[in-house]
Chains A and B, each alone.
Chain A
Amino acid sequence: MADVMDVMGLDDIEQENTAMDDINSETINLVCTLIDESGSMGGNIQEMNYNQSSFKDALANSKEADEMLVAKGTFSNSNVVIGGYKKIEEFDTNYKASGMTPLYDAIVIGAEKLVSYRTYLKDQGMNVKAVFAVFSDGEDTSSRNSLSEARRFVENLNSLEIPTAFIAFGNSAITEATNLKFKSILKIDSNTPDPASALRHAFDVLSKSTIKSVSVVGNKDSGDLFTM
């Protein structure tokens, strides 16, 4: 994967994410959200804008907010842009949609960055938990990485007991999420009478599940993020 992302040095990791001196805690929860901005998601722009704001508010108003750092990644065409892990107040809720779907690349880069920062924080004496969530209508159409490569990264997250969640817009995405070995899959059915409501429900479940996931100490359940 060296052609996708160079190995980062420690200074780079601090610079890109939140510096250790700015973390007033010994416990931190990393939340990675990868959001599909390909053209096929175009029908969801208004709802994605609205629901990202609600998601941000829910996390920001939770009592765990001070112990949470959130990274937002977006992907379309051959562009995968994954921001650093920052306080939830800095979460960008803007949404646009055009182009193709480099889903596997986003997963590979997002997972790699999550594991790198998690390792860095642990090496500094932090207690770290994490959540990895993808919003996409699949299928992958423009990645350089293969399905098997992306699956390897998801399986690595699963083996590290990092909850992996896929919010799937339609049946193609369900197939992708299943093949990628995501532990938790939530379907947004565009054929339901009220898809906006279904999307709202998905964000609501994700925010509640994320808060629950990061707030339960010693949780040794099956790894399924969606328990509501």
Chain B
Amino acid sequence: MLICKIGFEHVERGLNCQDFGFENLEHKCVMDGCSEGKHSEVGAKLFGHLLSQDRYSIDDIFGMLSDIFPKYEDVRNHLLFTVLIVSETKEDYIVDICGDGYIIKQKYNDSIEYEKIGEGNVPEYFAYNYVSPDHLSKYKDGVEFKRHILLKREYKAVGVASDGLEYILNSPFKDEFEKHLIGRKEFAIRRLINREHKYFKDDISIVI
């Protein structure tokens, strides 16, 4: 189930949705473009498009993107985005994250746990690796994906979400959302976000 909805503030300010997501046989993935970048959805969508083909590594893709956007200003405006990827082995869910967001864990009794990643920190955007350290106040030594491994014997399903999920979790509609999430009622969640859009200020992407 994949949901990607524009946030209310983006609508109000005439911005594009800067999130993107996809799911295929290999990966479930969401990207969340940095709101300070003028067009960060461009990089997020290009990255997602290329990764979804299962032909290129993450380094390959950022290499291509940095060829398209070679200057520091280009990177800042187009390539700053969080990446959260779920893949599976026979026994594990493997979650690779560079930046911030949420891991959503569904246990076998259908209880849901939300693990916030990168709370309180400046997001670690992978594109910082393609910028001269002179332009960076943090992460001058580069950034890496952090891997989280979750056991299939403990969790029925694992997904990821962009940090916009916090607006749902802190809203009066958290229980309604969770009921639909457990039932994988994609359109009911979409309609909930439409119906109460003013609560959901940031773009929201969820894949599980």
Contact = CB atoms under 8 A, between A and B. Distances in A.
Interface of A: 20-21, 23-26, 123-127
Nearest to A123: B195
Contact of B193 (A24, A25, A123, A125): A125
B11 to A, nearest CB: 13
Interface of B: 187-188, 190-196
B6 to A, nearest CB: 13
A60 B112 CA distance: 39
Contacts of A26: 187, 190-191, 194
A127 B187 contact: no
A127 B195 contact: no
By secondary structure, the A interface counts as loop
Contacts of A124: 191, 195
Contacts of A21: 188
A124 B196 CA distance: 9
12 contacts: A20-B188, A23-B187, A25-B187, A26-B190, A26-B194, A124-B191, A125-B190, A125-B191, A125-B193, A125-B195, A126-B191, A127-B194
Nearest to A121: B191
Q: Which of B193, B195, B196 has the largest count of A CB atoms less than 10 A from its CB? A: B195
A25 B193 CA distance: 13
A41 B193 CA distance: 47
Nearest to A25: B187
A124 B192 CA distance: 7
A21 B193 CA distance: 16
Contacts of B193: 125
Contacts of B195: 123-125
Contacts of A25: 187
A25 B188 CA distance: 8
Contacts of B191: 20, 26, 124-126
A20 B192 CA distance: 12
Contacts of B190: 26, 125
A220 B140 CA distance: 50
A125 B198 CA distance: 12
B133 to A, nearest CB: 45
Contacts of A23: 187
A26 B187 CA distance: 6
Nearest to B193: A125
Contacts of A24: 187
Instruction: Please provide the 3 A-B residue pairs with the shortest distance between their CB atoms, ordered closest to farther.
Output: A125-B195, A125-B191, A125-B194
Contacts of A127: 194
Given A20-B191, A127-B194, 4 more contacts: A23-B187, A124-B195, A125-B191, A125-B193
A24 B1 CA distance: 13
Contacts of A20: 188, 191
A20 B191 CA distance: 10
Nearest to B3: A26
Contacts of B187: 23-26
Contacts of A126: 191, 194
A224 to B, nearest CB: 29
Contacts of B194: 26, 125-127
A24 B188 CA distance: 8
Contacts of B196: 125
B204 to A, nearest CB: 14
A67 to B, nearest CB: 11
B15 to A, nearest CB: 17
Nearest to B196: A125
